Amino acid sequence: MKKDFVSIADQTPEEIQSILDLSIRLKKEWKSGGNPPLLQKKVMGMIFQKPSLRTRVSFDMAMRHLGGDALYLSPNEIGLGQRESVADVARVLAGYVDVIMARVFAHEHILELARWADVPVVNGLSDYDHPCQAMADAMTIQEEFGNLKGLNITFVGDGNNVATSLLQIVAKLGGNFTIATPAGYEIKPAAIQQAQSFAKVSGSQLNFIQDPHAAVKGAKVIYTDTWTSMGQEAETQERLKVFPPYQVNSQLVAEADADAIVMHCLPAHRGQELTDEVADGSHSRIFPQAHNRLHAQKGILVRVFGKG
């Protein structure tokens, strides 16, 4: 049976932790001279509906580090669901490559690719969630603090796809998750309900509030993201009126734990959700976090092929 990586919610806590440990080991191997060619002769087809720096380069380089190759497919080349049905794209592409990674708008397109492709499908991002980002996030937190169990992790800003996957992975691994969002910009209720069921098993404490200052009290991790995600450009002006109280600045960071770290999945709109002073300051881990996308994705790819 093929292994997809579509959502954090689909993975058991043991599977998530195993991939994290594998990713950290692969990172150490690479730093010590290189990874073994675990994916030699394997090719990944990369479907992109949205532009990307980190997702494209990190997946491409992950395959190269492991002895494989990657093929970039631009939006104009495929027209997923428009020029050709998702089901047909999945079945055709699965005959050419060994794994499919897709970065899309509609989450349903990821689900359809996974349904119809007989090779593994990896969710490189959808409007609903961003599981590969969450793996790099958890890896970064684990490297900093040892593990997520009982750790206070706070997200400040829009309850978007990144927040959804972070909520899921923290709830799965037993961390405490707090999110402060303006009214009307919360994480989707279905995702919250699902995470609450994970928390009952792990002992995670979940808090959904509006006050960013209350949210960061005792936080070891402060996480933020852009106020306007791709596909929401028409809302930009309205969001710029709503979100300024949620800016992660030096004052807000000072209200958290003294050794708190600040994270952002990038790209950052400096001066909006995050100030330069914080982004480039001693609490920031945004660039190690970005670099961990490479190694977390190696762990995911090795695992979907059953090689590690």
Q: Which of 130, 239, 264, 303 is catalytic?
A: 130
- Among the listed residues 65, 103, 283, 303, the single catalytic one is 103
Q: Which percentage of the chain shows pLDDT scores above 70?
A: 100
Same domain? For 73 and 121 the reply is yes
Q: Are residues 65 and 163 in the same domain?
A: no
What pLDDT band is residue 2 in, cutting at 50, 70 and 90?
confident
Q: Does the annotation mark 265 as catalytic? A: yes
> Does the annotation mark 103 as catalytic?
yes
In a domain, 1, yes or no: no
- Per-residue confidence (pLDDT) for residue 83, from 0 to 100: 82
Domain total of the chain: 2
Residues 169 and 272 in one domain: yes
Residue 3 included in any domain = no
Select the more confidently predicted residue: 279 or 228: 279
User: How many other CB atoms are found less than 10 A from the CB of residue 183?
Assistant: 7
Q: Is the pLDDT of residue 6 over 80?
A: yes
Q: How far apart are CA 58 and CA 188, in angstroms?
A: 28
Residue 275 scores a pLDDT above 80: yes
CATH of the domain at 48: 3.40.50.1370
Q: Are 172 and 11 in contact (CB under 8 A)?
A: yes
Selected catalytic residue, list 11, 225, 247, 289: 225
> What secondary structure does DSSP assign to 51-120, as a single string?
--SHHHHHHHHHHHHTT-EEEEE-HHHH-BTTTB-HHHHHHHHTTT-SEEEEE-S-HHHHHHHHHH-SS-
Instruction: Tell me, yes or no, whether 79 lies in a domain.
Output: yes
Tokens for 130?
Answer: 């961003």
Is 133 a residue of the active site? yes
In a domain, 114, yes or no: yes
Which of 97, 125, 99 is closest to 8 using CA atoms?
Answer: 125
Domain span at residue 119?
8-130+293-304
pTM for this predicted structure: 0.97
- Residue in 265, 283, 295, 303 annotated catalytic: 265
Distance CA 223, CA 75 (A): 30
Ranges of H-type helices in 117-160: 131-145
132 is catalytic: no
Structure confidence by residue, pLDDT tens digits, 182-191: 999 999 999 9
Q: Is 98 within a domain?
A: yes
Bridging pattern class, strands 152-156 and 69-73: unpaired
Cis, bond preceding 267 (omega within 30 deg of 0): yes
Do 236 and 116 lie in one domain? The reply is no
User: Do 81 and 186 belong together in one domain?
Assistant: no
pLDDT tens for residues 54-112? Answer: 999 999 999 999 999 999 998 888 877 778 899 999 999 999 999 999 999 999 999 99
Annotated catalytic residue 130:
yes
Q: Let me know whether 144 and 257 are in one domain.
A: yes
Catalytic residue among 293, 295, 297, 303: 293
Catalytic residue among 11, 133, 272, 289: 133
